[in-house]
Amino acid sequence: MIVKESILKFENFSILNTICHYNHSEDLTREQLYSYPVDIDFDILGHKEEQIFKIVVSAKINSENKPGYTISVLSATFFRINGETQEQEKVNLLQYSGVQMAIANLRAYIEDITSVYPLGKYTLPTFDLQDLLNRKAETISNNQQ
């Protein structure tokens, strides 16, 4: 199928801060790596008049520094919205497509930096994006009260 081009344009992906550490253990398995909690947070920032937006995503894996990889990454993915659109459509584009692309970029970066470590590349597990968006909205709502 011929795809319809989106008005949401990817501009750039940058790493703002990163820590990746390998804690050796003789009996460590790859399965243990994926049992550690993954903490992801994000913020959508923008200049609405110029239609330029930045999605900042942080990921923390194994914050307790157990054997295996301890990873902390802060990234920014930049977007532009070309064309006129309703405010709710912009919000939807950024929340669903933008956040998903930002996390995909982060996932690829984490795979890349861990690929040279003894256990090989670590891939962020798939997760429920809708749940992440709902919990973020809940957190914002609670902070405004």
Structure confidence at residue 87 as a pLDDT band (50, 70, 90): confident
Task: Work out the average pLDDT over 89-106.
Answer: 94
Residue type, 113: I
Query: Percent of the chain beyond pLDDT 70?
Result: 99
State the pLDDT at residue 72. 98
Nearest to 58 by CA among 96, 16, 21, 95: 16
CA–CA separation, 88 and 144 (whole Å):
20
pTM of the predicted structure, to 2 decimals? 0.89
CA–CA separation, 42 and 90 (whole Å):
17
Query: What is the distance in angstroms between the CA of the first residue and the CA of the last residue of the chain?
Result: 47
Determine phi and psi for 42, rounding to 5 degrees: -150, 160
